[in-house]
Amino acid sequence: LHILHLDAARVNKTVPLVFRDCPDEFVPGGDEKYADCNITTDETACALLRELHKAKSFRVYGFAVVPIILSVLAMVLNITYLVIQLKIYRKEEESARKRYLFLIARSLSTIMALLLFYVVIICWKTEEFAYPSAMIFLLLGGLNFLSITGTYIALTLLLYTAIVHPFFYQSRTTIKHCYIFIALIWLCSTIASTCVGLWGATLFYPESAPVSCSFRGCQKPLAVLIVIGLSISYATVLGLYASLIVRLHLRLRRRRDLVSENSKSGSNLEREQTHIRAMNRLGLNMGTFAIGSVPILIVCIVALVNLKSLSSLGEGEKSPCKTYLNAHLFVEVEILASTGGIVWSVPSSSGDIFP
């Protein structure tokens, strides 16, 4: 009992008075700087400290540990898929190569996004989470989403053209056209993502940002534009695929009714069935895209709804007391960032199942 009494007395000496009700929550050597912060709300000191530790836990585990594990898995799988696709690409005829070019581009864009994610982690560890880290994080999220969106739209249109207009697909659609289309997808995705990252990160770091972006004149319109743009892209991919696959199945059904014993017609029908099977397999990727993109849209919408309160974190001078007093907001930010990082990593690790 005497030893326990001494231990309790030692704890009371190290824990500041405001945190005496939560000695287990207090971390010696790190939380002393919050003891002198002036709390102007109804929150207790212990409640704010608890929320602050929760935010730090989300940052360490939700934004770093879990996404890193998933991203390593995604990197291994995508490199494996890329090697397999390159080998198949060399063996296939030109007609099939057109499809594989887009799949290769999809894997390359995912690998580049994963590399950028590691840059974010390095920046975070070397200089805390500052403007460059936030900018790259937003940039890679937009780049990955937009490049995948463009790739799926291109693949859907390419396969539809191969089925409905086979002569045009064989004679007029060349490998060179595919390269140009892929380059345009990457160019547009990079430009749009750079703008999102460059101006979007000013929400949290307006003073260290190289560009000026006020809340009413820039940040809020940009957030609305991002949500609308992502929603339109999401709906376009799924809507286009659904409408085309329905049209193709109806077309195939009519062709079956009209097909004769003519071998040419039979071969055409068989070719159409092959392409439709390819589109059905593409649908599995569409399912992954749909499931993985919904949480990202939800995160963006939640961020838009709470944009004003989140923007207050970037106002004024950064200090331990500001972080401590706004612990609830920091928890929200860390949850949004963690959700975005994890949700982004999961579809990336699914790879391409469309051959």
Of 8-12, 202-206, 218-222, which gets the smallest average pLDDT?
8-12
Answer yes or no: is 159 within a domain: yes
CB 193 within 8 A of CB 146: yes
Q: Give the pLDDT band of residue 221 (cuts 50, 70, 90).
A: confident
> For residue 127, what pLDDT is reported?
57
Q: Which residues contact 106 (CB under 8 A, 6 or more apart)?
A: 147, 148, 151, 352
- Residue with the bigger pLDDT between 78 and 262: it is 78
Residue whose C-alpha is closest to residue 135's, from 39, 71, 209, 53: 209
| Cα–Cα distance, 296 to 227 (Å, whole number) | 10
| Cα–Cα distance, 119 to 138 (Å, whole number) | 12
Does pLDDT of 149 surpass 50? yes
Answer yes or no: is 14 within a domain: no
Look up residue 112 and give its amino acid: M
> For residue 204, what pLDDT is reported?
72
DSSP H stretches of helix in the chain? 2-14, 45-57, 66-91, 94-127, 131-164, 166-171, 175-200, 220-258, 263-305, 307-311, 320-325, 327-350
What domain range includes position 299? 69-351
> For residue 7, what pLDDT is reported?
43
- 41: tokens are 């709300």
C-beta neighbour count of 204 within 10 angstroms: 19
Answer yes or no: is 169 within a domain: yes
pLDDT tens string 100-123:
888 888 888 888 878 877 777 776
User: How many separate domains does the chain show?
Assistant: 1
CB 238 within 8 A of CB 153: no
- 240: tokens are 């286009």
Answer yes or no: is 290 within a domain: yes
Answer yes or no: is 47 within a domain: no
Answer yes or no: is 45 within a domain: no
Answer yes or no: is 162 within a domain: yes
DSSP 37: -
| Cα–Cα distance, 279 to 159 (Å, whole number) | 7
% of the chain residues with pLDDT over 70: 77
Residue whose C-alpha is closest to residue 7's, from 191, 91, 15: 15
Residue whose C-alpha is closest to residue 16's, from 37, 2, 43: 37
CA 103 to chain centre: 19
pLDDT tens string 164-207:
777 887 888 888 888 999 999 989 988 988 888 888 888 777 77
- Residue with the bigger pLDDT between 252 and 170: it is 170
| Cα–Cα distance, 207 to 204 (Å, whole number) | 9
- The average pLDDT across 27-38 equals 85
> For residue 184, what pLDDT is reported?
92
> For residue 1, what pLDDT is reported?
40
Average pLDDT over the chain, rounded to an integer? 76
DSSP 42: S
- Residue with the bigger pLDDT between 37 and 64: it is 37
| Cα–Cα distance, 315 to 299 (Å, whole number) | 22
Residue whose C-alpha is closest to residue 206's, from 334, 46, 52, 317: 317
Answer yes or no: is 36 within a domain: no
> For residue 258, what pLDDT is reported?
61
| Cα–Cα distance, 184 to 191 (Å, whole number) | 11
Q: Which CATH number fits the domain that encloses residue 257?
A: 1.20.1070.10
Does pLDDT of 44 surpass 70? yes
Write the DSSP string, 224-283.
HHHHHHHHHHHHHHHHHHHHHHHHHHHHHHHHHHH--S-HHHHHHHHHHHHHHHHHHHHH
| Cα–Cα distance, 230 to 303 (Å, whole number) | 14
